[in-house]
């Protein structure tokens, strides 16, 4: 992984388990490379008096974040006999504001509306930038020039507001304003003393934009090429997984076969071994050793303690048949052990309430997906690395370090009584270790196609089935979930 600066590497290295190299901010090659346009050329091309001070107004577009709804047409008050204002809007800005600033530029000789202009030229030409939370202000700061930010009073209403984001972490290197008069005062201070806060800006330049020599893309390419050729790379040792498939007489043989097929198809890059286990009298099951490595004779079912004595993996997985799990499921579960050394057990999430809550915590205004496979993909993308702690939630799939699993079974023989997964969950926490439910790894019953969260979800699922011509299935789904209408 190539990152812009040391700050990014420190933030990632505890949670990313591939090599990380600091190669610089590639976009800054446009500012420091041989093709960068300097101030004099830009001013000549744009017919700007280079002796005048240039204020670059570059706001973002979101109403809760942008300076536009407050500054509006007052931008003309920032001009003067010795200064001009250049306006550069985000391409997603409301067309109303775009048209307003375009009209102002036509009517006011000291306002220039920048459309498809040269990025490096406008950045080098400007003496100060006025912005809000637009990432462009950080890029401008890389030139060690003053930045004045307007703080929108609705800032914290933004759904994804996070004070730990880089746009907020660097605020000690910029000037801020809460009102337009204060904004004017801060602009005057910045123009009169551009070296103010220069030391802080230099600190962030070193942290966020390694190199500043126009060679960032080249360094990134060389680093990637080096890794491809395995130069200076010692690969991280991969885990091996002993999977214990819990069987009982109620299991349908077809579901067992489908579970084995899923294990084979979705675990191809890992060393795995599968042990069919049961501590009760079970039915007769059939499997093919060609699907995945089954560590038992044809149709043989092992006792768990026997399977544990044969296991060669360093991670144990206890799995009940009949559940869909995502591609790379072993990786997603195992990542949680890498992130936290005190974890003794990681369970896949199957509880509807917690998975819906996890989705809403990220996208509060969105309706959770109805299709099970879509919800699985959504949680993996939105909640990766997130988990519920010591929640005692049921799960039909859990990963436990094999030494912990062996010690637990040997120390507490009655762990076989009842649900082994529930008993292990309780035992792990009693040992002082942490049990997690991984919100990024969703499992759901193989026969299930939809999550019926509410009436809206039910009607959406029914509509999908009708569209596919599956009227009987649609009617059955309505009957099975008729309690929603009560």
Task: Please give the torsion angle defined by the CA atoms of residues 265, 270, 276 and 277, in that order, rounded to the nearest 10 degrees.
Answer: -140
Q: Are residues 292 and 205 in the same domain?
A: no
Is 66 part of any domain?
yes
Q: Closest Cα partner for 284 from 320, 321, 248, 243?
A: 248
Q: Are residues 179 and 30 in the same domain?
A: yes
- Give the integer Cα–Cα distance in Å for 241 and 301: 19
- Give the integer Cα–Cα distance in Å for 332 and 441: 6
Q: Could you please report the per-residue DSSP string of 176-235? A: EESSHHHHHHHHHHHHH-TTTTHHHHHHHHHHH----SS-HHHHHHHHHHHHHTTTT--P
Q: Closest Cα partner for 351 from 397, 396, 394, 381?
A: 394
Q: Are residues 387 and 481 in the same domain?
A: no
Q: Are residues 323 and 308 in the same domain?
A: yes
Is 70 part of any domain?
yes
Q: Are residues 366 and 459 in the same domain?
A: no
Q: Which domain holds residue 46?
A: 25-209
Looking up tokens 């544990």 gives 308
* Residue 59 dihedral angles phi and psi, to the nearest 5°: -85, 165
Q: Closest Cα partner for 101 from 112, 117, 116?
A: 112
Question: Assign residue 324 a region: left if phi > 0, alpha if psi is -120 to 50, beta otherwise?
Answer: beta
| H or E element in which residue 128 lies | strand 128-131
Looking up tokens 């489908």 gives 258
- Give the integer Cα–Cα distance in Å for 82 and 75: 15
Structure tokens at 452: 């019926």
Q: Are residues 335 and 290 in the same domain?
A: yes
pLDDT at 157: 80
CATH code, 203:
3.40.50.2000
Is 129 part of any domain?
yes
pLDDT at 457: 86
Structure tokens at 38: 């300097």
pLDDT at 438: 95
Q: Are residues 287 and 372 in the same domain?
A: yes
Per-residue pLDDT tens over the stretch 78-111: 999 999 999 999 988 999 999 999 999 999 999 9
Domain finish residue from 166, 186, 209: 209
Bridge partners of 437, per DSSP, are 347, 388
- Give the integer Cα–Cα distance in Å for 429 and 398: 14
Q: Are residues 430 and 475 in the same domain?
A: no
Is 220 part of any domain?
no
Per-residue pLDDT tens over the stretch 30-70: 999 998 999 999 999 999 999 999 999 999 988 888 999 88
Number of folded domains that form the chain: 3
pLDDT at 74: 93
Q: Are residues 252 and 109 in the same domain?
A: no
Residue 398 three-state SS = strand
Q: Are residues 286 and 430 in the same domain?
A: yes
Is 458 part of any domain?
yes
pLDDT at 104: 95
Structure tokens at 236: 């991280």
Which segments within 31-88 are labelled E, that is strand?
53-57, 83-87
Q: Are residues 105 and 153 in the same domain?
A: yes
- Give the integer Cα–Cα distance in Å for 443 and 242: 19
Cα–Cα separations (whole angstroms), residue 40 to 47, 51, 169, 289: 10, 10, 33, 73
Q: Are residues 201 and 58 in the same domain?
A: yes
Report, as ranges of residue numbers, the positions in the chain whose pLDDT lies below 50: none
């Amino acid at each position: 992984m190539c990152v812009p600066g040391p700050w990014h590497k420190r933030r990632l290295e505890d949670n990313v388990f591939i090599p990380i190299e600091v190669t610089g901010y590639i976009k800054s090659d446009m500012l420091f490379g041989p093709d960068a346009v300097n101030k004099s050329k830009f001013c000549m091309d744009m017919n700007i008096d280079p002796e005048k001070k240039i204020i670059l107004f570059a706001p973002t577009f979101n109403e809760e974040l942008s300076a536009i709804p407050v500054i509006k047409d007052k931008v003309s008050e920032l001009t003067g006999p010795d200064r001009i204002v250049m306006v550069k809007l985000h391409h997603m800005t409301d067309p109303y504001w775009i048209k307003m600033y375009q009209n102002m530029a036509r009517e006011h000789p000291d306002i220039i509306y920048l459309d498809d202009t040269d990025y490096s030229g406008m950045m080098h030409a400007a003496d100060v930038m006025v912005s809000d939370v637009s990432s462009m202000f950080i890029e401008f700061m890389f030139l060690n020039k003053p930045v004045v930010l307007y703080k929108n009073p609705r800032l914290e209403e933004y759904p994804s507001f996070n004070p730990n984001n880089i746009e907020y972490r660097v605020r000690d290197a910029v000037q801020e304003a809460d009102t337009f008069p204060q904004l004017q005062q801060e602009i005057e201070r910045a123009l009169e003393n551009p070296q103010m806060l220069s030391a802080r800006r230099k600190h962030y330049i070193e942290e966020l934009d390694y190199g500043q020599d126009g060679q960032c893309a080249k360094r990134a390419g060389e680093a990637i090429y080096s890794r491809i050729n395995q130069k200076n790379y010692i690969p991280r040792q991969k885990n091996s997984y002993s999977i214990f498939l819990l069987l009982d007489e109620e299991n349908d043989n077809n579901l067992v076969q489908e579970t084995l097929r899923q294990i084979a198809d979705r675990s191809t890059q890992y060393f795995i071994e599968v042990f069919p286990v049961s501590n009760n009298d079970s039915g007769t099951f059939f499997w093919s050793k060609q699907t995945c490595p089954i560590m038992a004779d044809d149709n043989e079912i092992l006792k768990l303690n026997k399977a544990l004595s044969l296991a060669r993996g360093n991670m144990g997985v206890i799995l009940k048949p009949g559940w869909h799990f995502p591609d790379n499921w072993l990786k997603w579960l195992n990542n949680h052990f890498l992130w936290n050394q005190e974890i003794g057990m990681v369970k896949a999430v199957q509880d509807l309430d917690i998975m819906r809550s996890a989705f809403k915590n990220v996208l509060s205004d969105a309706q959770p997906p109805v299709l099970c496979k879509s919800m699985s993909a959504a949680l993996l993308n939105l909640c990766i690395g997130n988990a519920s702690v010591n929640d005692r939630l049921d799960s039909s799939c859990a990963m436990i370090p094999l030494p912990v699993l062996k010690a637990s079974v040997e120390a507490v023989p009655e762990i076989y009584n009842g649900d082994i997964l529930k008993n292990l969950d309780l035992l792990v926490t009693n040992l002082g270790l942490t049990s997690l439910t991984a919100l990024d790894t969703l499992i759901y019953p193989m026969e299930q196609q939809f999550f019926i969260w509410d009436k809206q979800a039910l009607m959406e699922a029914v509509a999908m089935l009708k569209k596919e011509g599956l009227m009987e299935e649609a009617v059955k789904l309505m009957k099975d979930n008729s309690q929603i209408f009560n």
